[in-house]
Structure 1
Amino acid sequence: MPDLLSARGAVLVFLVFAFTYFLSALVRAITATLSPTLSQEFALTPGHLGLLAGGYFFGFALTQLPLGNWLDRHGPKRVVLAFLGLAVLGCVAFALADSFAGLLAARVLTGMGLSACLMAPLTGFRRWFAPTTQLRANSWMLMTGSLGMVAATLPVQWLMPVMGWRGLFWSLAVLLLLSMAVIFGAVPRWRTEPHPHTDNEPVERGYGLVWRNAYFRTMVPVGFVNYGGMVAVQTLWAGPWMVKVAGYTPGEAAGGLFAINLSMLTAFWLWGVVTPRLSHRGLRPEVLIGWGLPSSLLVIAAIVLLGDRAGWPVWALFCVSSTFVALSQPAVALALPPQAAGRALSAYNLVIFAGVFLLQWGIGLAIDALSVFGWDEATRYRGAVALFGLCCLAAYAAFWRGWRRIERDRAATLDA
């Protein structure tokens, strides 16, 4: 493949994008650690808190469809630089906000600006890296994101007395500017003209070829609910659960989030190590998801039953057992032509982050709404998580039907 980078070039490009994605994940997850402070300062209810955290993902969802077209047309470098400028403005606006509406608007703007931080490198990897390397790079990008989420827990808690939450967002704006400078200098230019040896097959414009793809549609239910739910828990609801249900102090909850995200970091690192080997043995991503994801359903049921005994170790187990579904992201890109990689990845990212937004907000609304039964706050949290678990079960059942259909079609093709 003429576009494959040398080993040294591939490592450099990966590290540059990983630094930016680290910052993106830190900004994404920071509301879980700041939730006690923001709730007190702005008198936020669980519904407000869920909407504030979900606003980031709403900003993500707003940009995904145009983002995919822009990535395929202009390439990762130009697109991510333009988007990061919005992220800098969003962090500055958050630091200056003096009302819930101001916080929410800033989070939406920040989400829009950071929405290319994973899609841009994955689009580039589709052309620059070999297929097995793409699977590893995807897992290790997610590992880097988990490192950012680790940084959003205890380190943020330690810095709060020194810098305050507003100072933290000013610092994040400066770091994002630094990442823009590094990307400008290190990421290669995108080839926009078709290559005569690899791009000779015409590829349909727009998103029609993506939405019609059977593999893409099979992955939609688990992407929306299970993947989106994992991120919703990791970036928000695990923290309030530990405080409101398990009886943790805010400092202990930050420590719990630190441990959860460290567990996720380890899980994604291991996926990066073993995925190429599993691929060589013919274990496709949909097979691993089909047999591995049910473990997360058992864990969410255990959390509901354990109630106040479900501390961070059980939530860490839920998040780690949900990482099977993360294999769907590079698999969707590989299921479509390289010239459509940006659209395939962005369309699937739209599915995931629309799920994150609705689930983060929906869990908060459910916690508020269940007060109609006269339940105390801890019981309402358990009820909301039980409803979330039922949604995960229904999504997995829909995936199972699509997966078995794909397996039958593949077997019929081989027999023919």
Structure 2
Amino acid sequence: MLSKDNIGKMMKYRWVIFAVLALVYFFVYFHRVSPAVMAGDLMTTFGVGATSMGLLGSVYFYAYALMQIPSGIMSDKFGPRRVVAVFTLVTAAGAILTGIATDFNMVIMGRLLIGIGAAAVYIPIMKMLSIWFRKNEFATQSGMMLAVGNIGALSAAAPLAYLNTALGWQTVFTGLGVASIALAILSYIVVRDKPSEMGFANIEDIEAHENGETVSAEAKPAENISIMDSIKMVLGKKSFWPLAIWFFFYYGSLMAYQGLWAGPYLKDILGWDKATYAGLLTFIGIGLIIGCPVSGYIADKVLKSRKKTLIIGTIMYTLLWFAVWYFNGMDNPLFYKILYLLFGFFAGFFVVCYGQVKSLFPISITGTSTSLLNFFPFFGGAVLQQVCGLVIASYGLNALGGYTSAGYQMAWLLLAVGMVIATICVYFSEEKGL
């Protein structure tokens, strides 16, 4: 039914779904970057060093990367609602296990479960956005969702440091587990896979109605593409691979820095305490919160081109990586506030790539196509966090027992060079019109 009342109800209810999924996604990002603040406490509690922390940081991303394809397939087959609810419970189990850990192996296992659970949240959310929002709203809504996620990352900086000091890191993780259980129940109750499940018109019909068109059978998304055929369709498309390689370095470098090594760097090289460096790291989160929705809006409404938006963001982000490398050891908090704000802002332009890859394939395999792309940034995060740990450790310790400036600077140079490769790749990516 394409009545005004029906369309109005659909347009309102999609924001209820968006709000619930945004709450879930908030904690995905919170978990993702929390080691940057808690690394020192974990090393002290369990007597481990940079190599072990590199493993702890990377295990989340290995799990996240390996779960991308299954999460996309499950989203297409079973529906996003069930996938989000079940795997949020897995995240809860990992958080609780971390909270009660008595040795570092339990922390590793908890981190693994958190990675598995969190991995199966974003792809269903992207599928939900493609089902409940118009095509020319997708990049903007993706940016808004990622902005909420980055508020979670922001909360995992200074606020987490304060909670950690007041309550202890294990109490914090146990509380996160309880909150995740509540969110799993809420998402199952509120979220619906399709507007038709609520008796609402589908977004394709609404768009056609708004444009004075009818939706022909050919325009309807195909629903009978097999799992193997959908995977072959995505991996067999040459224009998929430049985006995949680009995403490996783009997001992998961000997670290597914001997600783990920035905190130890600011402590070891500049000697700043946790409250100081956690406060500075919030500026990356603030930049991301602004950059994600702004880049989506630029792609949808200003340039009306995802590729052009990505090229601009990638060039600026690459230049900022060379600034991180060149100014290694700069002892000036104001400098880092400005650098990190810009760093986060242009890092946030990555959100546009989801709309770009979605446009290349049928909507019925949105989960599969997005999950295959999403494998690469988290594989990049896993690899680059661990590589940075090995590089930093290879330069030994300084006189104060921390890692050396040369070790960190070499790690930053490797990440900057990776971004040069990403810049080249984004020029070879493909897009279809909005």
Deviation at 1:319, TM superposition (A): 2.8
Equivalent in the alignment of 1:261 = 285
Q: Mapping of 1:11-410 within 5 angstroms?
A: 11-190=15-194, 197=217, 198-200=220-222, 203-206=225-228, 207-278=231-302, 281-282=303-304, 284-309=305-330, 311-371=336-396, 377-400=404-427, 402-403=428-429, 406=430
Letter in 1 for 2:146: L
SS in 1 for 2:97: helix
Contact residue 247 and residue 308 of structure 1 kept, 8 A: no
User: After superposition, what is the alpha-carbon deviation per residue over 1:46-99, rounded to whole angstroms, capped at 9, x for unaligned?
Assistant: 222122112111121221111111100111001111111211110111111122
With over 3 angstroms needed to count, the CA separation of the structure-2 counterparts of 1:76 and 1:246, relative to structure 1, is: same
With over 3 angstroms needed to count, the CA separation of the structure-2 counterparts of 1:376 and 1:241, relative to structure 1, is: closer
Contact residue 238 and residue 315 of structure 1 kept, 8 A: no
Q: Give the distance between the partners of 1:348 and 1:51, measured in 2 at CA.
A: 23
With over 3 angstroms needed to count, the CA separation of the structure-2 counterparts of 1:202 and 1:82, relative to structure 1, is: closer
Deviation at 1:373, TM superposition (A): 13
With over 3 angstroms needed to count, the CA separation of the structure-2 counterparts of 1:260 and 1:201, relative to structure 1, is: closer
Equivalent in the alignment of 1:414 = none
Contact residue 29 and residue 236 of structure 1 kept, 8 A: yes
Contact residue 283 and residue 340 of structure 2 kept, 8 A: no
1:7 aligns with 2:11: yes
User: After superposition, what is the alpha-carbon deviation per residue over 1:326-376, rounded to whole angstroms, capped at 9, x for unaligned?
Assistant: 211222122210110010111111111111111111111111123499996
Q: Give the distance between the partners of 1:28 and 1:200, measured in 2 at CA.
A: 35
Deviation at 1:313, TM superposition (A): 3.1
Letter in 2 for 1:306: F
Deviation at 1:243, TM superposition (A): 1.4
Letter in 1 for 2:20: V
Q: Give the distance between the partners of 2:255 and 2:397, measured in 1 at CA.
A: 28
User: After superposition, what is the alpha-carbon deviation per residue over 1:190-245, rounded to whole angstroms, capped at 9, x for unaligned?
Assistant: 579xx993135753532111111233222011111112212332222222222122
Aligned positions, number = 401
Contact residue 236 and residue 360 of structure 1 kept, 8 A: yes
Contact residue 46 and residue 103 of structure 2 kept, 8 A: yes
SS in 2 for 1:307: coil
RMSD, aligned α-carbons: 2.7
Contact residue 61 and residue 378 of structure 2 kept, 8 A: yes
Q: Percent identity over the alignment?
A: 23
Q: Give the distance between the partners of 2:425 and 2:300, measured in 1 at CA.
A: 27
Q: Give the distance between the partners of 2:261 and 2:338, measured in 1 at CA.
A: 14
Letter in 2 for 1:285: R
Q: Which moved further from structure 2: 341-350 or 124-133?
A: 124-133
Contact residue 288 and residue 347 of structure 2 kept, 8 A: no
Letter in 2 for 1:286: K
SS in 1 for 2:120: coil
User: After superposition, what is the alpha-carbon deviation per residue over 1:265-289, rounded to whole angstroms, capped at 9, x for unaligned?
Assistant: 12223234444212xx53x111221
Contact residue 47 and residue 364 of structure 1 kept, 8 A: yes
With over 3 angstroms needed to count, the CA separation of the structure-2 counterparts of 1:291 and 1:25, relative to structure 1, is: closer
Q: Give the distance between the partners of 2:45 and 2:369, measured in 1 at CA.
A: 41
Deviation at 1:189, TM superposition (A): 4.0
Q: Give the distance between the partners of 1:345 and 1:80, measured in 2 at CA.
A: 16
Letter in 2 for 1:369: S
With over 3 angstroms needed to count, the CA separation of the structure-2 counterparts of 1:215 and 1:159, relative to structure 1, is: same
Q: Which moved further from structure 2: 318-327 or 58-67?
A: 318-327
Q: Which moved further from structure 2: 249-258 or 259-268?
A: 259-268
Q: Give the distance between the partners of 1:265 and 1:137, measured in 2 at CA.
A: 13
Q: Give the distance between the partners of 1:355 and 1:11, measured in 2 at CA.
A: 32
Deviation at 1:136, TM superposition (A): 1.0
State TM-score, norm by structure 1: 0.89
Letter in 1 for 2:392: I
Letter in 2 for 1:42: F
Equivalent in the alignment of 1:413 = none
Letter in 2 for 1:292: G
Contact residue 242 and residue 312 of structure 1 kept, 8 A: no
Letter in 1 for 2:366: A
Gapped regions of structure 1 (runs ≥ 5): 411-416
Gapped regions of structure 2 (runs ≥ 5): 198-214
